[in-house]
Amino acid sequence: MSFAERLFLPAIFKGMSITFSHIFKKQPTIRYPEQKREFSPVFRGLHVLNRDEEGRERCTACGLCAVACPAEAITMEAAERLPGEEHLYREEKYAAVYEINMLRCIFCGLCEEACPKDAIYLSETFAPANYTRKGFIYGKDDMVIPNVKTDPEGYAKAKGSPRNN
């Protein structure tokens, strides 16, 4: 080892040059309240149960989304449509109970791909924080998109932009 190497001066100068080079690079941090982060087009957020053009629920409780879910986060119970409920449900069978345990969900999107009726999709909305485990079990009332005829503002807000596969 030479005298200069024993003083570790080359290593110190190399480290300082790396440090000073980072000063002039773009900062990766954003100032959150003022700036909003751009998300990837494949971002998967909250689940939304979709309606058709007439405002009826699309879900037919076929169970394919529950079978496709690797985390087994989806549970549902089917029921038969009664006479006079044609304006509420699209098919003769509908999901009377539809729940997703968001603590188990891994946001993989397989439920969205498995649905033959395009009844469920993952929106671009975050899953909100909660203090209890029960608050993370989303029922059908929490996920069904508002009716476009009765609540157009709520519908536009919940719709976000579904991805076309």
111-142 pLDDT, tens digit per residue, is 999 999 999 989 888 878 889 999 999 999 98
Indicate if the pLDDT at residue 162 is higher than 70: no
Residue 160: what pLDDT?
A: 62
Query: Which domains does the chain show, CATH number per domain?
Result: 47-159 (3.30.70.3270)
Mean pLDDT of the chain: 86
Residue 158: what pLDDT?
A: 73
Residue 51: what pLDDT?
A: 87
Q: How far is CA 147 from CA 82, 88, 136, 144, in A?
A: 20, 10, 24, 9
pTM summary value: 0.71
Tokens at residue 115, please? 């649905």
